Amino acid sequence: MKLQGENGMAFTLEIAGYRTPGIVDRFWEANWLIVSCRIEHPRGGWSFSEPSLATFELEQLARWFDGVAQGNPDPKAGYFSESHLTFLYAPPPVSAIEVRFAFEAAPPWLIDRNLRLDGAVLSFPLAFNEPRACAHYLRDQLARFPQRGEPG
């Protein structure tokens, strides 16, 4: 999935696989996904690869992008168990997808620990992006990495 911003800014998210591919019977452990992200930014790019989303959160994010496409995403759906990657919606007149990168996902220029906790929010205008395509990509990834086990 790729989001485009102004001034060459871009965000790419890929699902690298299950965090623990051999565990299928413990719900939480079985469903953590390694998310690999690359960010291009005028101040310098960075990347990270972390267990950032569970399979059911990936579906939640796809539904969030569906809501963005309709102009009314669930404001709570862009928050996940791991808080280093958060998706926010800026309504009109801005109309943008905002992504917060904190903790281990924070940009390298945020050196101070407190600044890394707060993170950086980057804006990706809807004029440059297609939320339905993002939702479709995420569901394709969910088909590759389906939910395993039953919640206990």
pTM of the model: 0.93
What CATH number does the domain containing 75 carry?
A: 3.30.2450
pLDDT tens, per residue, the chain with 152 residues: 999 999 999 999 999 999 999 988 889 899 999 999 999 999 999 999 999 999 999 999 999 999 999 998 988 888 888 889 999 999 999 899 999 999 999 999 998 888 888 999 999 999 999 999 999 999 999 999 999 988 87
Beta bridge partners, 50, equal 35
Mention every residue, 6+ apart, whose C-beta is less than 8 A from residue 61.
53, 77, 78, 80, 87, 138
pLDDT on residue 114:
87
pLDDT on residue 128:
97
Any domain includes 61: yes
Please state, in angstroms and rounded to a whole number, the distance separating the CA atoms of residues 51 and 139: 18
> Do the beta carbons of residue 141 and residue 133 sit within 8 Å?
no
pLDDT on residue 81:
84
Mention every residue, 6+ apart, whose C-beta is less than 8 A from residue 58.
15, 33, 138, 141, 142, 145
Please state, in angstroms and rounded to a whole number, the distance separating the CA atoms of residues 17 and 28: 15
Total of domains in the chain: 1
pLDDT on residue 17:
97
Domain boundaries, position 38:
2-144
Any domain includes 149: no
